[in-house]
């Protein structure tokens, strides 16, 4: 990964330009995911849910999905494996939203093969269509989602308008403190990022991420200099909590966890890994 520090986006035009850049980059990555479409079909057919243990732990506290979740809207759903896993968990109907044409194509192919009740929208999460307003019992997102967004207040307003009265958002993300350490070291070495103000433009994908998709084609087989530039932002936990509160939601749960959701620090010694929070999760509810 090569990255360049950039200023946080200053206006809506800059936000849109960065999101559009990310669309290109994620279309390249989606080629890798496509190589695993058949595997995903087989896993889903075999009833293998991809929900993370932290997500399941949090969400089952609300009762069996069958009883309270008619519709879940998955923001930044990628190729839809986690979205369709929600159906395996008991959700009745799912909607996936993602900016990448390739990811939405993968998701559509998968749900059609399995005749699963899913609807897909290819759009910027900030442009999620109004026809979905007030229809979600659950807005589900995370695992590498909000770091691609450059206007968190706009995102929180989208979450608020999608939820039914009484509906809930669940989010599981990399803990922002984990950004403060170098991802490629065996010990905890400072990355020297500015925790409070970090945005970056980068090229290349960590092999511990896309390498897992098991294909030599696509971005991990493409020289880094030929890949699209993508744009990320470190959002602190306070940024996220404040954005959701400002949008009118009530925080019901906040947790910090040692469990990662991907191999973010492939070289890090396990005794060192246990010393920092890898992820956090939260749930926030819209008033009835
Ligand atoms: C790491 S993936 C999320 C993975 C997801 N947890 C899953 O189900 O596998 C990030 C996703 O965010 C999407 N994305 C990035 N920026 C977006 C935006 N502005 N609007 C909608 N989707 C976006 C990408 O296309 C990509 O599919």
User: What separation in Å is there between the alpha carbon of 99 and the centre of ligand 1?
Assistant: 7
SS3 88: helix
- Please name which of 149, 178, 148 lies closest in space to residue 279, comparing C-alpha atoms: 178
Nearest CA to ligand 1 atom 12: 76
User: What separation in Å is there between the alpha carbon of 146 and the centre of ligand 1?
Assistant: 8
Q: How many domains would you assign to the chain?
A: 1
Domain coverage including residue 277: 2-285
User: What separation in Å is there between the alpha carbon of 86 and the centre of ligand 1?
Assistant: 17
* Residue found by looking up tokens 């971005």 in the block: 219
Which one of 28, 55, 99 would you pick to mutate in the ligand 1 pocket, going by the greatest count of ligand atoms within 8 A of its CB?
A: 99
Tell me, rounded to whole angstroms, the distance of Cα 254 from its chain centroid.
17
The residues facing 283 across adjacent strands are 170, 253
In DSSP notation, 228-262 reads: PPEEEEPPPHHHHHHHHHHTT-EEEEEEEES--SS
Which one of 30, 43, 105, 145 would you pick to mutate in the ligand 1 pocket, going by the greatest count of ligand atoms within 8 A of its CB?
A: 145
CB 144 within 8 A of CB 151: no
Atom of ligand 1 nearest to the CA of 81: 8
- Kindly report the CATH number assigned to the domain that includes residue 59: 3.40.50.150
Per-residue pLDDT of the chain (288 residues; tens, 9 = 90+): 678 999 999 999 999 999 999 999 999 999 888 889 999 999 999 999 999 999 999 999 999 999 999 999 999 999 999 999 999 999 999 999 999 999 999 999 999 999 999 999 999 999 999 999 999 999 999 999 999 999 999 999 999 999 999 999 999 999 999 999 999 999 999 999 999 999 999 988 877 666 544 333 445 556 666 788 999 999 999 999 999 999 999 999 999 999 999 988 999 998 998 899 999 999 999 999
Q: What is the pLDDT of residue 52?
A: 98
């Amino acid at each position: 990964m090569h990255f360049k520090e950039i200023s946080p986006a200053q206006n809506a035009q800059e936000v849109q330009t960065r999101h559009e850049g990310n669309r290109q980059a994620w279309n390249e990555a989606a080629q890798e995911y496509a190589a695993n479409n058949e595997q995903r079909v087989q896993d889903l057919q075999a009833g293998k849910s991809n929900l993370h243990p932290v997500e399941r732990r949090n969400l089952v506290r609300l009762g069996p999905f069958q009883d309270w979740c008619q519709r879940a809207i998955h923001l930044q759903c990628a190729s839809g494996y986690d979205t369709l896993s929600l159906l395996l968990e008991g959700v009745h109907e799912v909607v996936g939203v993602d900016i990448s044409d390739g990811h939405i194509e993968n998701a559509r192919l998968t749900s059609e093969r399995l005749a699963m009740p899913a609807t897909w929208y290819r759009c910027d999460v900030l442009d999620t269509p109004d026809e979905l307003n007030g229809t979600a019992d659950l807005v589900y997102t995370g695992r590498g989602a909000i770091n691609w967004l450059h206007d968190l207040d706009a995102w929180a307003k989208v979450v608020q308008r999608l939820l039914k009265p009484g509906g809930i958002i669940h989010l599981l993300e990399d803990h922002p403190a984990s950004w403060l350490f170098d991802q490629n070291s065996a010990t905890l070495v400072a990355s020297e990022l500015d925790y409070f103000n970090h945005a970056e433009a980068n090229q290349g994908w960590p092999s511990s991420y896309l390498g897992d998709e098991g294909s030599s084609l696509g971005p991990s087989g493409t020289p880094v200099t030929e890949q699209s530039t993508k744009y990320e932002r470190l959002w602190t936990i306070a940024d996220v909590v404040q954005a959701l509160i400002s949008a009118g939601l009530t925080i019901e749960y906040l947790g910090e966890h040692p469990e990662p959701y991907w191999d973010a620090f492939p070289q890090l010694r396990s005794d060192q890994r246990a010393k920092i929070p890898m992820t956090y999760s939260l749930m926030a509810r819209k008033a009835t």
